[in-house]
Structure 1
Amino acid sequence: MKEGLVIKSTGSWYTVKTSDGTIHDCRIKGRFRMEGIRTTNPISVGDIVEFNEDKDANVIVKIKDRKNYIIRKSTNLSKSSQIIAANIDHAFLIVTVNYPLTTTTFIDRFLAAAEAYNIPVNLVFNKVDRYRPNDMERLAELKGIYESIGYKCYEISAKEGTHLEIIREALKGKINLLSGHSGVGKSTLINHIQPGLELKTGEISESHSSGKHTTTFSEMFELDFGGYIIDTPGIRGFGTFNMEKEEMSHFFLEIFKISNSCQFNNCTHMHEPKCAVKEAVEIGKISMTRYESYLGMIMEDEDSKYRI
Structure 2
Amino acid sequence: MRALIYKSTGSWYTAKGEDGQVYNARVRGAFKVEGLTSTNPIAVGDEVELTPEDEADHVATITEIHDRRNYIARTSPHNKNKHHIVASNVDQTLLFATLKEPRTSQGFLDRFLVSAEAYHVPAVVIFNKCDLFKKKEEELYAELEAMYKAIGYGVLRISLKTGEGVEKLRTQLSNKTSLVSGHSGVGKSTFINTLFPDMELRTQEVSGWSGKGLHTTTFAEMFDLPFNGKIIDTPGIREFGLVDISRQELSHYFPEMRALLNNCQFNNCLHINEPGCAVKTAVESGEIAESRFLSYYSILESIDDKNY
TM-score range normalised by the length of the shorter chain? 0.7 to 0.9
Shift of 1:262: 2.0
- TM value normalised by structure 2: 0.87
Question: Which position in structure 2 is the counterpart of 1:208?
Answer: none
Determine whether 1:170 maps to 2:169. Answer: no
Question: Which position in structure 1 is the counterpart of 2:155?
Answer: 153
Match of 2:210 among 205, 209, 212: 212
Q: 1:149 to 1:44 in 2, by over 3 A?
A: same
Amino acid at match of 2:203: K
The 1-side partners of 2:112 and 2:257 are apart by 16
Question: Which position in structure 1 is the counterpart of 2:271?
Answer: 269
The 2-side partners of 1:303 and 1:212 are apart by 33
Shift of 1:203: 9.5
Shift of 1:27: 2.1
Question: Which position in structure 2 is the counterpart of 1:46?
Answer: 45
Does the CA-based 8 Å contact 2:192-2:203 persist in structure 1?
A: no
Does the CA-based 8 Å contact 2:189-2:207 persist in structure 1?
A: no
Shift of 1:30: 5.1
1:209-264 Cα offsets, whole Å, 9 max, x none, are xx735784311111122111111114222221122433221110001112333223
Question: Which position in structure 2 is the counterpart of 1:3?
Answer: 2
Shift of 1:134: 2.9
Shift of 1:135: 3.0
Determine whether 1:187 maps to 2:205. Answer: no
Q: 1:293 to 1:3 in 2, by over 3 A?
A: same
Matches within 5 A, 1:205-284: 212=210, 216=217, 217-284=219-286
Question: Which position in structure 1 is the counterpart of 2:28?
Answer: 29
Shift of 1:265: 3.3
Structure 1 stretch displaced more, 149-158 or 74-83:
74-83
Does the CA-based 8 Å contact 2:246-2:305 persist in structure 1?
A: no
Shift of 1:101: 2.7
Does the CA-based 8 Å contact 2:25-2:60 persist in structure 1?
A: yes
3-state SS, counterpart of residue 280 of structure 1: helix
Q: 1:54 to 1:79 in 2, by over 3 A?
A: farther
Structure 1 stretch displaced more, 163-172 or 112-121:
112-121
RMSD, matched Cα: 2.7
Matches within 5 A, 1:50-69: 50-55=49-54, 57-69=59-71
Q: 1:292 to 1:34 in 2, by over 3 A?
A: same
3-state SS, counterpart of residue 144 of structure 2: helix
Structure 1 spans left out of the alignment, 5+ residues: 206-210
The 2-side partners of 1:224 and 1:123 are apart by 23
Question: Which position in structure 2 is the counterpart of 1:82?
Answer: 84
Structure 1 stretch displaced more, 43-52 or 212-221:
212-221
Amino acid at match of 2:13: Y
Does the CA-based 8 Å contact 2:112-2:239 persist in structure 1?
A: no
Does the CA-based 8 Å contact 2:131-2:162 persist in structure 1?
A: yes
Amino acid at match of 2:272: M
Does the CA-based 8 Å contact 1:159-1:189 persist in structure 2?
A: no
3-state SS, counterpart of residue 96 of structure 2: strand
Q: 1:226 to 1:132 in 2, by over 3 A?
A: same
Amino acid at match of 2:270: T
> Percent identical across equivalent pairs?
45
The 1-side partners of 2:45 and 2:65 are apart by 11
The 1-side partners of 2:161 and 2:305 are apart by 40
Question: Which position in structure 1 is the counterpart of 2:203?
Answer: 200
Q: 1:215 to 1:98 in 2, by over 3 A?
A: farther
Q: 1:223 to 1:119 in 2, by over 3 A?
A: same
Q: How many residues align?
A: 299
Shift of 1:67: 0.5
Q: 1:255 to 1:33 in 2, by over 3 A?
A: closer
The 2-side partners of 1:90 and 1:34 are apart by 22
Structure 1 stretch displaced more, 76-85 or 66-75:
76-85
The answer to which structure, 1 or 2, has the higher relative contact order (CA under 8 A, 6+ apart) is: 1
Question: Which position in structure 1 is the counterpart of 2:120?
Answer: 118
Structure 1 stretch displaced more, 269-278 or 214-223:
214-223
Shift of 1:156: 0.4
Does the CA-based 8 Å contact 2:189-2:206 persist in structure 1?
A: no
Question: Which position in structure 1 is the counterpart of 2:103?
Answer: 101
- TM value normalised by structure 1: 0.87
